[in-house]
Amino acid sequence: MEDIKNLYLSIPTFIRNKYFVALCVFLVWMFFFDTNTFTAQFNRKQQLSEMKAQKAYYLEEKETVTEELERMTNDNATLERFAREKYYMKKKNEDVFVIERK
């Protein structure tokens, strides 16, 4: 019994403090066992920033496509050019040659 008492007294007093022990238990719980651990929060913030970047990219693409659609609905020459380039459409008595670049 005396050995246990000596062992207990050899531990520094700040470690024997119940608030320090409670803080250590809380930190271990938050780092390893909780569903909202610090590493999960970090990963979620990183994922959020990636999604914001994707959102900005898609908004920019939306503006580009909207402008292109506006040009095609108002200008028949642009619509014809688009149909020829994307869908290989042609007029009668016309040949289309597709050249692929490597």
Q: Are the C-beta atoms of 89 and 83 separated by less than 8 Å?
A: yes
- pLDDT greater at residue 79 or residue 8: 79
- pLDDT greater at residue 52 or residue 91: 52
pLDDT 10s digits, 54-90:
999 999 999 999 999 999 899 988 888 888 888 878 8
CA 32 vs CA 3, 10, 50, 97: distances in Å? 34, 29, 25, 63
pLDDT 10s digits, 23-65:
999 988 888 888 888 888 899 999 999 999 999 999 999 999 9
pLDDT 10s digits, 92-102:
888 878 788 88
- pLDDT band of residue 16 (cuts 50, 70, 90) is confident
CA 41 vs CA 12, 28, 34, 45: distances in Å? 34, 16, 11, 6
Q: Taking the domains of the chain in order of start, what are their residue ranges? A: 1-34, 47-92
